[in-house]
Structure 1
Amino acid sequence: MRRNLETWRTVGRIARDILNVGTKLVKPGAKIFEICEKIENITRDMGYNPAFPVNIGINSVAAHYTAVPYDPSRIPNVALVKLDIGVLSADGAIADTAITIPINVNKKLKLLVEATRCALEKAIDAIKDGIRVGEIGSIIWKTAHSEGFGVLEDLGGHTLSEWKLHGGITIPNVPRRFTPKLRAGMIVAIEPFLVASSEDSHTKLNMAQI
């Protein structure tokens, strides 16, 4: 698979920088719509485009919510806030990155955030040519349960390809058999979704905001 990996690395670094700026905007009382608008404007000012509308999930909203125009919703005083952004270059390279921001939450939820970060790091460390995506799911699942948490079984990561946010291969957060192998040159987004319960779970409402 031939692609200019340095272009993808550059987009990844840009996305990281934008995410860091966006994280500072997530404060109690801040309007969700304004946060999304500012991040998307920053992305364009840097010479890139949003790969998808900025997603902000609060507490039980796991993924795929973005503010509608003039949404009056604000960041609560106590919350787990997931900020999820995408960056698209002029030649189709995409970065997809997210962070969960704890705001005045209790110790258990802080541990949930740390366990999620740990699962992400272990999964990234395990990636190599030929690894099956089900093995990555097993690493995430075992890490979550070793810390007393479960996972969302119906959400996960994915490969990325030129102009396509979802490149065709899903990376689960649970063990799976007979799954595709990752190969050198592939671009992947690892997305652990941990839940505060020790039991695995599924999303309750399948709705995406575009």
Structure 2
Amino acid sequence: MATPGPKVALVTGGSAGLGAAIARVLALDLGMSVTINYHGNAERANAFIQELQEAWRSRHGTDEAAAAAPVYRAIRADVSKREEIVRLVEETATGGGGRLDVVISNFGWTRLRNFSDLDDGVDEDDWDRCFEANVKAPLWLFHAAKRWLEEGNAREAGSAVFVSTASTAGCKPSGSSLVRLEVGPSVFRSCY
């Protein structure tokens, strides 16, 4: 039995930049209910949700299509922490009528450092946060969303989607705390 209502998407790091661009397409072009995740800037996240709502109304007016409008929400969570990811996914699915069809893992974190000064880049707390946010968090997010994505595929085969974005900082030396360790002659060449 199909779950009524529009498909539900979650976009981490979704209040600005690439995340916001993806959320716009999902919300306005594909008609999905979208939850964006943010960590620190509630004002920007709420303004973006309002922008999506206004754009939907301007495209669909006040007729029946507008009455059945997708739901747009912003949820604060630090997605470098596993328990926050689990909460974020559960709140998104619950708020989406018991479904989650699309997950975009877009969040990333770094602290810019002086790339030419090795001593500047040995802050262990920065390394740990960078590794948790950029390496472990997408795995935790996929694991937390797995049940919901499997249910989506049971409703409609091939409909569930999980996408993870990454920064070009993984291929170019740019002063990132994580890049400093990874960028060597062989890794650098493999990015091109």
TM-score (structure 1 length as normaliser): 0.30
Structure ID, larger Rg: 2
TM-score (structure 2 length as normaliser): 0.32
Which structure carries more relative contact order (alpha carbon 8 Å, separation 6+)?
A: 2
- Greater share of strand residues, 1 or 2? 1
